[in-house]
Structure 1
Amino acid sequence: MQQPVFAANYADRIGFAQLTRQAFEGVDLQPLRDQLLGRITEGTAQAGEGLDLSLIVQLLGDKEAGLAIQSEVLTFHQLFRTPSAAPKPGLRLLALAADIDMGGNTPIDFLLEGSDIELLTLYVVKGVGLPESLPAHDVAIVVASDSEECRDALALIEEVAPRWPRPLLNHPGLIGNLDRDKLYRLLADVPGLDIPATVHATRAQLTDLASGRIACGAIAGELHFPMIARPRGSHAGVGLAKLDDAAALEAYLTARKEQDFFVARFVDYVSPDGLYRKYRLAMVDGKAYACHMAIADRWDIWYLNAYMAFSEEKRAEEAIFMRDFDHAFAARHKSALDEMSRRVGLDYFIVDCAENQNGELLVFEADNTAVVHNMDSPAVFPYKPLQMRKIFTAFTAMLSRHARAGEGRAT
């Protein structure tokens, strides 16, 4: 596999970050959608415009239609460019993506915000695979997730990874470590880290458990009520529930149609003041960075349902968390964070976590595709832009370091 010396046959696109920011800020994307649809009807649309249209349709709430548009575009074109902010790019990054919904690949263009890095995204599509000659680039990164839909793409990339002509970050063979059940086995014995065993359970097993025909231990040794359940493959809290007893499990199964689930013991991580605190960290080049802190009176916290924007007191606490992170939270959990980063082995990933009542780092999940952004209003969150820029700077510095290390390879 050799890199060509000629210009890549890429298609320009607006990209994930710009379109998502517009949606986040309340911009009506329907006129742009209609304009792009018109160009497709006329037969004048470029491939990049088709990919932008697929994202707009997803942002407007029609995931199925958006994915159909994307898959159609990717049958005839797989390489796309998101231009850098600089007139002349200082570094060329090649992102290897899968044909999946908008949350299934690392939203890497957010991390490149304001940089001089040109982003090329190559979609690795089943039946098409990788091109014989790669587009010229300084460093590459795998952005496909650990989901089932990405397995074929990851396998194709892993097959050629040993012969990759430039540094390749987030090795495809390591991304599977982020699966909920694999992550537990990887981190179970890390000192100072608490990660509940997340195990696969079939509907039949849970039905037997609900009826008393089997005990929790028949599914997993440490499993007991109360437990957490979620459909296998679900994200963003879809189908997530705390089940206090067999009756609650029976009611849960009645309300769900899925056949496969993940279950885990429930850890009550409530703070002494009766509130729950959940943290998102970015692990960049082996170092932890604070992304956000959500505070709520419920255990199932996401940043949005914590309503941080409506509480000056919560935001003040989050500001202190970010300001003091390196010598407070990160220092308390340095050993656990370092060992977790070493075992996971990825150059960049995200961790959602808390502190349990013994003061240990309680890990809920890790992935490589969570959105890390600088879209929040600086008027409401004046402390966030500086923190986000720290993360972005660390990420781009990591890319530059690897690019320099790979300068002696084939070009």
Structure 2
Amino acid sequence: MNARHLTHPAPLIGQAAFTRMVMAGIDLAPIGQQLLKRAEEHPSDANTMMDLSSVMLLMGKRTLSLQIQRLAIEIQQLYTLSTHEKPTLRLLALMSPGDMMANTPLEFLLERSDIQLDLLFLKEGLPASEQVPDHDVLFVGIGESDANLPLLHQLEEQLRDWPRPVLNLPRSISHLSRDGVYALLHDAPGVVIPQTLRVERATLEALNIQRQSPEAWLDGGYPLIVRPVDSHAGQGLDKLDGPADVGVYLTNATQHEFFISRFVDYRNADGQFRKYRIALIAGKPYLAHLAISSHWMIHYLNAGMSESAEKRAEEEFAMVHFDREFACRHQTALTAIHERMGLDYLGIDCAETDDGKLLIFEVDTSMVVHSMDPVDIFPYKQPQMHKVFAAFRSLLLDAAKRPV
């Protein structure tokens, strides 16, 4: 038999496992070399190709990662992650090609779970029914983006009479653009969300040469927040204090469409900015993290949480008392978000305003929620994240019992 064709392909390791290695300080380069060697020896081993794609992405080689991923999906569309010999439930997730922000990162929510996760990567709608694996619950993991909208619209019809319970309906996901979220939440009780507009590059150029002022379109003037359409994790995000900043921004930004909104100064009395990441599961909120920083653009990994015992103590307090404090203060707002977004699972990046309202930065299904922070530095996060994962597991089990 030709050694280049596998009888038993390697099991899928998965993005979550490789991300955990990175968080633990493990160099992925040697692992990448091993996967590359195996892929060259066994070019039909799609699992190895998909794992190699994940490693390349985590090593910062996004373009190469996506090229390898496309090759893997051409070989096979279905990938299985199972850490349990007798899984309690089989979850089929519909996925789109792309990086970690393209889909709901279900691997992180189900890490070391008794749930079998089957990832079905779609190219043009669902394949023939005989190619769809049997499952107990279907989860639409495809994230909102311009590229994914045609697929989401197609799935609306295909999933209308699906024979199994479906979580996160594609119609609701398609409303998660930044201007779409504003349209749904701008008048929600207890919520503050700046007006968000999608504009072409020419609009920003008009601001740059002062032919227009932001007040012509927005509910406020400078400073503005700007970011490219379909960007995440702060990529291309900036604060523009005046027309001169617009020119500098456009010099560095090559994209043709952007979202703009007025900047809300959400720093607290101590001069620190606080950003909460909330997982809303079946309408119930859970705190995934609280990042505290002296800079308005907060990402947990650069907020200095590992270096500050004081910040960690505040995050621990927020987690322990979340149900009695934050969730109670913003119960009206969080209920409205759940009802208006119509999603079984979503993430919210938000802050609190001085007058006690919930300031919304982003609502999405593609935010990473994980338990990978070092246990010796963040011991309090493990019980909190186990609570989140248990809630997500319950969501799946409850859905499986629903009549279709």
TM-score range (shorter-chain normalised) is: over 0.9
Corresponding residue for residue 311 of structure 1: 308
Which residue of the partner structure matches residue 75 of structure 2?
76
| Alignment equivalent of 1:228, drawn from 225, 228, 249 | 225
Question: Taking structure 1 as reference, are residues 31 and 212 closer, same or farther at Cα in structure 2, changes over 3 Å only?
Answer: closer
Deviation for aligned residue 1:48: 1.2
- Conserved? CA contact 1:322–1:387, under 8 Å: yes
The aligned length equals 396
Residue number in structure 2 paired with 1:50: 49
- Give the superposition deviation at 1:334: 0.0
Question: For residues 139 and 307 of structure 1, do their structure 2 counterparts lie closer, same or farther at Cα, with a shift above 3 Å needed?
Answer: same
Q: Determine which structure has greater relative contact order: mean sequence separation of CA pairs < 8 Å that are 6+ residues apart, divided by chain length.
A: 1
Q: Which structure 2 residues correspond to residues 211-250 of structure 1 after superposition, within 5 A?
A: 211-220=209-218, 222-250=219-247
- The CA RMSD over aligned residues, in Å, is 1.7
- Alpha-carbon distance in structure 2 between the residues aligned to 1:57 and 1:325: 37
Runs of 4+ in 1 over 3 A off after TM superposition: 9-12
Task: For residue 168 of structure 1, report the CA deviation from its aligned partner.
Answer: 0.6
- Of 133, 137, 145, the match for 1:147: 145
Q: Compute the TM-score of the two structures, normalised by the length of structure 2.
A: 0.94
Match of 1:322 among 319, 324, 332: 319
Q: 2:262 aligns with which of 257, 260, 265?
A: 265
**Cα distance, 1:149 vs. partner?**
2.6
Q: How many angstroms apart in 2 are the aligned matches of 1:103 and 1:236?
A: 9
Q: 1:88 aligns with which of 75, 78, 86?
A: 86
Give the Cα separation in 1 of the matches to 2:359 and 2:312.
Answer: 22
1:27-38 maps to which residues of 2 (within 5 A)?
A: 27-38=26-37
| Alignment partner, residue 201 of structure 1 | 199
Structure 1 alignment gaps of length 5 or more: 1-8
Rounded Cα–Cα distance in structure 2 between residues aligned with 1:102 and 1:203: 27
Partner of 2:271: 274
CA drift of 1:30 comes to: 2.4
2:44 touches 2:75 (CA, 8 Å); kept in 1?
A: no
In the alignment, is residue 17 of structure 1 matched against residue 16 of structure 2? yes
Partner Cα separation in structure 2 for residue 47 and residue 378 of structure 1: 33
Distance 1:32 1:87, change over 3 A: same
| 2:131 is aligned with 1:136 | no
In structure 2, distance between residues paired with 1:358 and 1:326: 20
Matched ranges for 1:285-296 at <5 A: 285-296=282-293
Residue in 1 that maps onto 2:5 = none
> What whole-Å deviation, never above 9, does each CA across 1:337-375 have from its counterpart, x for those lacking one?
001111001100100000112111000001111111111
Q: What does 1:310-389 correspond to in 2, within 5 Å?
A: 310-389=307-386
The structure-2 alpha-carbon separation of the partners of 1:295 and 1:373, relative to structure 1 and needing over 3 Å to count, comes to same
In structure 2, the gaps of 5 or more residues are 1-7
Q: Write out aligned runs for 1:115-126 (5 A).
A: 115-126=113-124
- Contact 1:83–1:118 (CA under 8 A) maintained in structure 2: yes
How far apart are 1:129 and its partner, in Å?
4.0
Query: Could you state the TM-score of these two structures normalised by the residue count of structure 1?
Result: 0.92
The one-letter code sitting in structure 2 at the alignment partner of 1:137 is H
| Conservation of the 8 A alpha-carbon contact between 1:95 and 1:140 | yes
| Residues 222 and 262, structure 2, Cα contact 8 Å, conserved in 1 | yes
CA distance in 1, matches of 2:144, 2:94: 13
Q: CA deviation at 1:212?
A: 2.2
| Percent identical | 44
